[in-house]
Structure 1
Amino acid sequence: MASIASLLASPPRPSRPTARVPRIDIAPLFGDSAALKKQVAQAIDAASRDTGFFYAVNHGVDLAKLAAETRHFYRALTAADKWRLATGAYNPLHRHKVRGGYSLAVPGHKAVESLCYLNPEFQRDHPRIVAATPLHEVNDWPAACRQPRFRAFAESYYWDVLRVATALLRGYALALHQPEDFFTRHLRRHDTLSSVVLTRYPFLDPYPAPAIKTANDDDGTKLSVDPHRDVSLITVLCQPGRHQNLQVQGTRGQWLDIEPDDSAYLVCCGSYMAHITGEYYPAPVHRVRWLNEERLSLPFYVNLGYDDCIEPWDAADAAAAAASGWRGQVLNHQPLVNRRPIRYGAYLNKGLEDLARVNRQA
């Protein structure tokens, strides 16, 4: 007789249309050609105002190595390691660990586990750490005797993907008819609040029923993660393997499958981008369909510095002005009176709290 897990490994579901997710060659964003950068920016603009997602190709990062190192990390991790790395939500001795650290699986209730690590510049003598500024934490790592190469690889990857994010933000700035450094002037190596999350979705037999969520819509789709918008400026996601699990909500409320591509980064705007552009570049609502398959999800959440603040402006008006041939600067910076400026630290703190409630983890 087939096991319960094997019967549920590929749950029957109605066929869905596929989301338009273009592949954009971002190599010109690392170069000096203004004409080629403009072409990339136009492609980013079109994708951001459509489904909100695109695949970034020719990014220069070895994603296969990232997947291999992450799988090795999980294979070598012991229960003692997990407890020592656990966030304060799991280990009461670690109340200081709110963002960074290990989120444990809970047998019979929660299956997914993850490691979140922050800016490697956040060391004991960093001014923000000394001042105990919220959202800034020193990373902890697995014991070097069991995982001698993991920390060096993880820190190196952080800077590699930050370089990709920096290039992407140059493209977003140009797409929004702003100076090329409009975003990157706020994305500094020494104080960015950006984070890497290494998430493992396991295969389990039996799979704990409380860990499977049911969508609150007519189709009753089984979910691992409820519908949400990302809390970030932009998100740069690596999804190893060929498991179709991510869905984005279309303009009519319908859910569209995002086809996987493990050679490229999947990119979308977070809710801070939506706020400052007056929803001209919205943060797409998306969800993760439940699959009983061993897989990884490796997002990089691109965040500014704690005190950084970008004043919301009428991005739609700026685009209209550019389309009409206007070359002045006034229309490009019309403030949105119904949207107040928000410092990034306050935005991130509230956004993470709200997201925890959406995912029923508060």
Structure 2
Amino acid sequence: MDATDFTAIPILDIAPLLTADHPDRAATVARLGDAARRVGFAQLVGHGVDQSLFDALLAATRRFFALPTEEKMRSYIGRSSNHRGYVPIGEEVFAGATPDHKEAFDLSLDLPADDPRYLAGNPLLGPNQWPDLDDFRAPVLAYYRAVFDLARVLLRAFAESLGEPADRFDRHVSTPPAQLRLIHYPFDAEAQDRPGIGAHTDYECLTLLRPTTGGLEVMNGAGDWLDVPFVENAFVLNIGDLLEVWTNGEFTATTHRVRKVPAERYSFPLFFNVDYDTAVAPLPAFVDQHRPAKPPLVAGEHLFAQTAQSFRYLRRRLADGSLTLPEDARPLSSFGQEARQREAAHPG
């Protein structure tokens, strides 16, 4: 389905998904599926995540980013072997874009240091790298767990909206590299109007984002950039590359970006993924003579390949040969509206 006609981001009350046998559950699932097909984005209210968890996360994040740069760099992401830690301004560069004007702290499912996958060198699994900062780890992990649980609810609802059993994807969610980013966009009145985050799609199944102000834009199928209005206490949901592949394009991984922000901005996306080794291929129900199957991919390898191409410390390792991309790694911007427009302009 070509997402060419949307001019606004739907606001959905998902409270019926949180209660067993709610009379409005089926209608809510249908609205969620419609948003995934037409837009690839939605604003979610009635999500049940306690505001106090977000407040504690924001307070901890403010304390971390207020630290001197040399203190933040003690947990620099380039010191880790599994992509965890502090991301300074300019470290991340998306396809064809200037370096992003933001700083971040990246973490994921916190596995023990003796986890065999980490010891074997998995590039995305293992323990987090934590700063030496009081009252940081606990509120961050509490928020992570709550939003991770909400994402599992949504993944089940998406399965239902596709005509699949609700537990269709559950078996693929045991120890996924599902990343939470704590992002800080400093306000600079003299800054040029360039992206805070360059145009891209997200590499996982779905993203749940809590920002503190506006600045996010999405591209519709006509190539127009539309503002995502800030909605107090709402999660911004967007579809990622994996659900676009699983649904053979029925769901849309929508291209988005963050423009120059009007004020200091904090943003907290949870990129919800399936297990690293999950083979993702189009579901048979969405393949026919008019819609040939999209090429399959491996969830973790796709995430790692996209990450390695957009972080400077990993690109240096690619250049010196100490790191190699997985076989069949796709270039940046292989999904979303920009990719569809390139395919339409150059078919075959």
Q: Which residue of 200, 208, 212 maps to 1:228?
A: 200
**123-132 or 230-239, which deviates more:** 123-132
Shift of 1:128: 1.3
Which structure has the larger Rg over C-alpha atoms?
A: 1
1:96-115 correspondence to structure 2 within 5 Å: 96-97=80-81, 99-105=83-89, 111-115=101-105
1:67 pairs with 2:51: no
Task: Say if 2:245 and 2:294, in contact at 8 Å, map to a contact too.
Answer: yes
Shift of 1:158: 1.2
1:206-225 correspondence to structure 2 within 5 Å: 206-207=190-191, 209=192, 213=194, 223-225=195-197
1:164 pairs with 2:150: yes
Structure 1: give runs of 5+ residues left out of the alignment. Answer: 1-16, 89-93, 214-222, 318-330
1:222-301 correspondence to structure 2 within 5 Å: 223-241=195-213, 243=214, 245-301=215-271
Partner of 2:202, secondary structure, is coil
**What CA deviation, in whole Å up to 9, does each residue of 1:201-235 have, x standing for no partner?**
0013543x5xx53xxxxxxxxx2222211111101
**39-48 or 304-313, which deviates more:** 304-313
- Sequence identity, in percent? 29
Counterpart of 1:202 in structure 2: which amino acid?
A: P
Q: Which residue of 2 aligns with 1:141?
A: 130
**What CA deviation, in whole Å up to 9, does each residue of 1:235-258 have, x standing for no partner?**
1111113x3x11111222111111
Q: Which residue of 2 aligns with 1:9?
A: none
Task: Say if 1:174 and 1:180, in contact at 8 Å, map to a contact too.
Answer: yes
Q: Which residue of 34, 37, 44 maps to 2:25?
A: 37
Task: Say if 1:236 and 1:268, in contact at 8 Å, map to a contact too.
Answer: yes
1:84 pairs with 2:39: no
Q: Which residue of 278, 295, 298 maps to 1:343?
A: 298
Q: Which residue of 161, 168, 179 maps to 1:182?
A: 168
Shift of 1:181: 0.9
Task: Say if 1:278 and 1:315, in contact at 8 Å, map to a contact too.
Answer: no
Counterpart of 1:165 in structure 2: which amino acid?
A: A
Q: Which residue of 22, 27, 42 maps to 1:54?
A: 42
Return the alpha-carbon distance in structure 2 between the equivalents of residues 263 and 33 of structure 1: 25
Task: Say if 1:228 and 1:285, in contact at 8 Å, map to a contact too.
Answer: yes
Q: Provide the alpha-carbon RMSD of the alignment.
A: 2.6
Partner of 1:193, secondary structure, is coil
Shift of 1:174: 0.7
Task: Say if 2:60 and 2:135, in contact at 8 Å, map to a contact too.
Answer: no
Q: CA separation of 1:106/1:42 partners in 2, compared to 1, >3 Å: closer, same or farther?
A: closer
Q: Which residue of 1 aligns with 2:273?
A: 303
Q: Which residue of 2 aligns with 1:192?
A: 176
Partner of 2:279, secondary structure, is coil
Structure 2: give runs of 5+ residues left out of the alignment. Answer: 92-98, 312-330, 334-348
Q: Which residue of 2 aligns with 1:130?
A: 119
TM-score of the superposed pair, with normalisation by structure 2: 0.78
Q: Which residue of 1 aligns with 2:327?
A: none
Q: Which residue of 2 aligns with 1:352?
A: 307
**What CA deviation, in whole Å up to 9, does each residue of 1:148-202 have, x standing for no partner?**
21101111111111011011111111111111111222122xx111010011000
Counterpart of 1:101 in structure 2: which amino acid?
A: G
